[in-house]
Amino acid sequence: MTAKDTRETEAAWDEIAAGFDEYATPFTISFAETVLQRVDLHPGMRFLDVAAGSGALSIPVARLGAEVVATDISPAMVELLVARAQNEGLSNVTAHVMDGHALELEDDTFDVSASQNGVSLFPNMQRGLREMVRVTKPDGRVLILAFGPPTEAEFLTFFVGALQAAVPDFDGLPMDPPPLPFQVADPESLREQLADAGLNDIRIDTDVWDTEFRSAMHLWNMVINSNPIAASLVADLSQEQISEVQKNLDTKLRERSKGSGPAVLTTRMNIGIGTK
């Protein structure tokens, strides 16, 4: 990325950081906890979290006793991650503002380098992956958690459907090419990216990520604070249109929950693991 692109990306994520920490991170922490069982972490292992956000992956890793280094391009995200670690008394987490396209870290340093919905959002994902491989020890592992197809991300399909019903001229998300969060939605695409970055013994798994939403407002807040792209979708809506979208969401969530308790939405996730 150019210096201008870096500044714009940093500012965009800074702007939604507080909402991301409040609404998105609690969901992704729970998914990270289930996935980490696949990489056999031990206390004292060195773990790198790239594009760490406010700690959805770093925090559960630190709870397992690994020595965590977290990086993110957004100073606001890093600040929130540090606060989360401090609130839990986790002294084994350090966090740095850093562009994952060019990590300011030494070669062959980490037992595991990982990213959850992070490097898979990079405009140059291959460059980000190669940086992760570079700083991983020989025989160390790289772990990537990334979204599957957008049509199988119900938090998004519910939101977009409610938006289209309220704003008939809204065309939906562009799909050619797909938004960056879905650039490796095809598991084989993720496999190719990992192989091209120099990894071996690659395994690609798919899993379902269940998320519970208590209300239309809960889903609205999670989506618009999850990514600057999502925030831009609603930036020009009138208050009347926003109210209509939320009304539509309420109807869809009630139908899913059958009017009782939270609505459970599912998202297909790709999990890639390779060895350096």
> Which CATH number is 98's domain given?
3.40.50.150
Domain range for 121: 3-275
User: What pLDDT is recorded for position 112?
Assistant: 97
Can you read off the two tokens belonging to residue 138?
A: 């020989």
Dihedral, CA of residue 13, residue 16, residue 19 and residue 25, to nearest 10: -20
Total domain count, the chain:
1
User: What pLDDT is recorded for position 37?
Assistant: 85
Dist CA 266 CA 252 (whole Å) = 14
Per-residue pLDDT of the chain (276 residues; tens, 9 = 90+): 677 878 889 999 999 999 999 999 999 999 999 999 888 899 999 999 999 999 999 999 999 999 999 999 999 999 999 999 999 999 999 999 999 999 999 999 999 999 999 999 999 999 999 999 999 999 999 999 999 999 999 999 999 999 999 998 887 777 778 889 999 999 999 999 999 999 999 999 999 999 999 999 999 999 999 999 888 888 889 999 999 999 999 999 999 999 888 999 999 999 999 999
Q: Which helix (H) or strand (E) holds 195?
A: helix 187-196
Helix (H, G, I), strand (E, B) or coil at 139: strand
Those residues with Cβ within 8 angstroms of residue 156's Cβ, 6 or more apart along the chain or in another chain: 150, 173, 223, 267
Dist CA 265 CA 92 (whole Å) = 34
Residue 40 exposure: Cα atoms within 13 Å on the Cβ side: 3
- With beta carbons less than 8 A apart as the criterion, state whether 180 and 155 touch: no
Q: DSSP string covering 41-63, please?
A: --TT-EEEEES-TTTTTHHHHHH
Q: Which helix (H) or strand (E) holds 3?
A: helix 3-19
User: What pLDDT is recorded for position 41?
Assistant: 92
Beta strand segments in the chain, E: 46-50, 67-72, 93-97, 110-116, 136-147, 200-213, 263-275
CB atoms within 10 A of CB 181: 20
User: What pLDDT is recorded for position 140?
Assistant: 97
